[in-house]
Amino acid sequence: MDEHLALGAHGEALAARFLRDRGMQILERNWRCPEGEIDVIALDGDCVVVCEVKTRRGTGVGDPLEAVTREKALRLRRLAAAYLRSRPDAVPRVRIDVIGIIARRGQRPLIRHLRAVEA
């Protein structure tokens, strides 16, 4: 279980760096509210990016992106709304991204970034 959590945290750190390298500004990591948690929140220009990160050791149980089901995508929408409500200012644009990471032991991690996913 510990290793599982460690992998998740490692993946989130990788994802944050990945987004930063693409010119985004990281606003929050592991932002929590009663409805759940947002892994990474970033700012891409004037657009707030709500980002879910899924990390796997391999594709034995499927691609990490496949773990984001329709229900999870809908939950991300609700979390995004909750985050926007928590901010005092108005945000011009918002989108939801998903980052899938395959981190095989002894290999460079494989990162796939889906922008503006739909449920």
Partner 1 sequence: MRLGRTLSVALSGLDGRLVDVEAHISAQLPHFSVTGLPDKACGQAPDRVKSAAATSGSPLPASRITVNLSPASLPKQGTGFDVAIALAVLAAHGVIDGRRIARVVHLGELGLDGRVRGVRGILPSVLAAARAGITHVVVPPENVAEAQLVDGVVVHCAPSLATLVAWYAARAGVHPLPVAAPATDDRPATTKTPDLADVVGQPEPRLAIELAAVGQHHILMNGPPGVGKTMLAERLVTVLPPLSRERALQNHAIRSLTGDEIRASELDLTPPFVAPHHSASMAAITGGGSGVVLPGAISRAHGGVLFLDEAGEFKTSVLQQLRQPLESGEVTIARAKQLVRYPAQFQLVMATNPCPCGQAWGKGIDCVCSALEQRSYKAKLSGPLVDRIDIQVVVEPVSRAAFGDDGAGESSAVVRQRVLQARGAQVERWAKHGWETNAQVPGHALRRRPWRLPGDRTAALDRALDIGVLTLRGYDRTLRLAWSCADLGGRTSPALADIELAYTLRGVGREAA
Query: Which residues sit at the interface with partner 1, rule CB under 8 A?
Result: 62-63, 65-66, 68, 70, 73, 98, 100, 112, 114-115, 117-119
State the minimum distance, in angstroms, from the CB of residue 68 to partner 1: 5
Using CA atoms, how far apart are residues 116 and 52, in angstroms rounded to an integer? 11
Query: Nearer to partner 1 by C-beta: 35 or 66?
Result: 66
State the minimum distance, in angstroms, from the CB of residue 113 to partner 1: 9
State the minimum distance, in angstroms, from the CB of residue 59 to partner 1: 9
20 — phi, psi (to 5°)?
Answer: -60, -40
Query: Nearer to partner 1 by C-beta: 82 or 114?
Result: 114
Rounded to the nearest 5 degrees, what angle is found at the Cα of 75, between the Cα atoms of 19 and 29?
35
User: DSSP states of 65-95 as a string?
Assistant: GGGS-HHHHHHHHHHHHHHHHHSSS--SEEE
State the minimum distance, in angstroms, from the CB of residue 42 to partner 1: 18
Query: Nearer to partner 1 by C-beta: 9 or 117?
Result: 117
Q: Which residues pair with 33 in a beta bridge?
A: 36
